[in-house]
Amino acid sequence: MPVLTLFFFLSFLKICLTLQFCEDFCSPISPEVRFPFGLDGDGCGYPGFNLSCNERGQTILNLPRSGNFIVQSIDYQIQEIRITDPGNCFAERLLHNFSLSGSPFSTELNGAFSFLNCSSNFSISASLPSSARRINCLSNDNFTVVAMPTGLHGYLPPIPSCIVMENMVDVPVFWPRYPEGDSSLIWTTPDCGGCKLNGGTCGFKDAGSLDIGCFDLPSNDRGLPRSAKYGIIIGVGIPALMCIIGLGCYLCGRVRNYSRSHQSSSEVTIALANPPSILIGGLDGPTIESYPKTLLGESRRLPKPNDSTCPICLSEYQPKETLRTIPECNHYFHADCIDEWLKMNPTCPLCRNSPEVSSTATTPSLPSSASSSSLSARR
């Protein structure tokens, strides 16, 4: 059952990868196949880059003149494909009909090798240069096949008990790797190495043409147009900023609620005397002190008979209390209350006239409508 699930998952993955990105594979452990390669003529490949799968889940490259090879790995960045012979004897393929002509591949380095067929009791180290190697897959108990780099101009001196099988075989190898297990082929067209290096996806620009392009580059200067970047900044940045502000407000509100609910009732007066307000700078001490004060006598005779309550703290004036009046508008308050107010607001809390600059009567209103309405109700 888990195997079946895995199978369906892999099939699904294969379909998704093929449809979306032209990425495919023959089995989970075989090399990833993507542009410029295509698998089984899926239309994803560049001409000459068709790969196929064999029944054992191996990835197969067909070279037009040489037949099938197993793909061991593909490096899309340096554009190199490592192939091996299905019979595990690459040297045998080299001696037969190995040719890259008709394919888009080449070798980075070719070596001219000589192949010798020597008798089995022949000692390589004693008779041949140290560069000679036994090719195990071609040798057996009765004879030993040796490969060694061909000397200058292909000259090979006669070697006792050996016959030359092939001289000057062009072997696609990275020196000093020997033509035994595998070979590395490279391709130069199409050139997708730079795209891969930058993290992009290489592919056909449009169907029906062989022009290639680099897509889905990660967001750097080459990747996204400026407008798209601004779009992302606006689309993501502003909502994020709003969220942060919203969260900040929420937290502030909670802190404020908390401290408000824990305030004792005796502090309400101070809270009212300091209503939250747009601070535009209050008056300095000497200016406040210059406003006229009135000390109430025992008779509580009020300067204005109808005003018996301080509009700020909403408590009645008591004998021996000190009142202060704001010049120009002639409103009275407890001196303590209006002093605190004027330290933060340069305007009269009732008529909003500024005692300092009476012309600037258009100052911002009290934000707390409740307190302002209760104040004006007592005018």
Ligand X SMILES: *[C@@H]1O[C@H](CO)[C@@H](O)[C@H](O)[C@H]1NC(C)=O
Which residues would be at the binding site for ligand X (CB under 6 A)? 41, 43, 50, 65-67, 93, 96-97, 117, 119, 121, 138, 140-143, 145, 165
Which of 193, 31, 197, 172 is closest to 105 using CA atoms?
172
Smallest gap, in angstroms, from Cβ of residue 118 to ligand X? 8
User: For ligand X, which is the closer residue by CB, 160 or 281?
Assistant: 160
Which residue is at the shortest CB distance from ligand X?
Answer: 41
Smallest gap, in angstroms, from Cβ of residue 31 to ligand X? 18
Q: How far is 168 from 101, CA to CA, in rounded Å?
A: 18
Q: How far is 53 from 30, CA to CA, in rounded Å?
A: 10
User: For ligand X, which is the closer residue by CB, 138 or 313?
Assistant: 138
Residue 47: both structure tokens together: 């001409």
User: For ligand X, which is the closer residue by CB, 119 or 219?
Assistant: 119
Smallest gap, in angstroms, from Cβ of residue 116 to ligand X? 9
User: For ligand X, which is the closer residue by CB, 66 or 150?
Assistant: 66
Smallest gap, in angstroms, from Cβ of residue 32 to ligand X? 18
Residue 46, number of CB atoms within 10 A of its CB? 20
Residue 316 contacts by C-beta under 8 Å, 6 or more apart in sequence? Answer: 308, 309, 310
Smallest gap, in angstroms, from Cβ of residue 59 to ligand X? 14
User: For ligand X, which is the closer residue by CB, 85 or 336?
Assistant: 85
Residue 90 contacts by C-beta under 8 Å, 6 or more apart in sequence? Answer: 84, 179, 180, 181, 182, 183
Smallest gap, in angstroms, from Cβ of residue 163 to ligand X? 7
User: For ligand X, which is the closer residue by CB, 168 or 249?
Assistant: 168
User: For ligand X, which is the closer residue by CB, 104 or 282?
Assistant: 104
Smallest gap, in angstroms, from Cβ of residue 151 to ligand X? 21
User: For ligand X, which is the closer residue by CB, 89 or 273?
Assistant: 89
Smallest gap, in angstroms, from Cβ of residue 126 to ligand X? 10
